[in-house]
Amino acid sequence: MDSLADQALKYHSIERPGKIAIQVTKSVGSSADLALAYSPGVAAPCLAIQENPALAYEYTAKGNLVAVITNGTAVLGLGNIGALAGKPVMEGKAVLFKKFAGIDAFDLEIDELDPAKLVDIVASLHPTFGGINLEDIKAPECFWIERQLRDRLSIPVFHDDQHGTAIVVGAGLLNALHLTGRHIGQIKVVCSGAGAAAMACLEMLLELGVSKSNVFVCDSHGVLTTQRQLSSEKAAWAQDSECTTLAQIVRDADVFLGVSGPGLLSQQDVVNMAACPIVFALANPEPELRPELILEVVPDALVATGRSDYANQINNALCFPYLFRAALDCGASVINAEMKRACVDALAETARHDPRFGTQYLVPDLLDDRLLLNLPSRIAAAALRSGVAQRSLNEQQYRARLQALAETLRD
Using DSSP's 3-state secondary structure scheme, residue 132 falls into strand
80 is in an annotated binding site: no
161 annotated to bind ligand: yes
Q: Which is catalytic among the residues 10, 38, 117, 212?
A: 38
Active site annotation includes 398: no
Alpha helices in 38-159 (DSSP H): 43-51, 56-59, 87-101, 115-124, 141-152
Per-position b or e across 167-202, b if 16+ CB within 10 A of its CB: bbbbbbbbbbbebbebebeebbbbbbbbbbbbbbbb
Q: DSSP readout, 169-209?
A: HHHHHHHHHHHHT--GGG--EEEE--SHHHHHHHHHHHHHT
Q: Return left, alpha or beta for 331; rule: phi > 0 is left, psi -120 to 50 is alpha, else beta.
A: left
Q: Hey, how many other C-beta atoms are within 10 angstroms of the C-beta on 49?
A: 18
Catalytic: which of 93, 188, 234, 340?
93
Distances in whole angstroms, Cα of residue 188 to Cα of each of 48, 182, 216, 273, 378: 57, 11, 8, 10, 30
- For residue 255, the tally of other CB atoms under 10 A from its CB is 27
Burial (CB < 10 A; 0-12, 13-18, 19+), residue 346, is buried
Known active-site residue 322: no
Q: Is 135 annotated as a binding residue?
A: yes
- HEC per residue, 231-243: CHHHHCCCECCCC
Catalytic residue positions? 38, 93
Residue ranges of the annotated binding site for (S)-malate are: 284, 315
Annotated binding site: 135-136, 161, 284, 315
Binding residues for a divalent metal cation: 135-136, 161
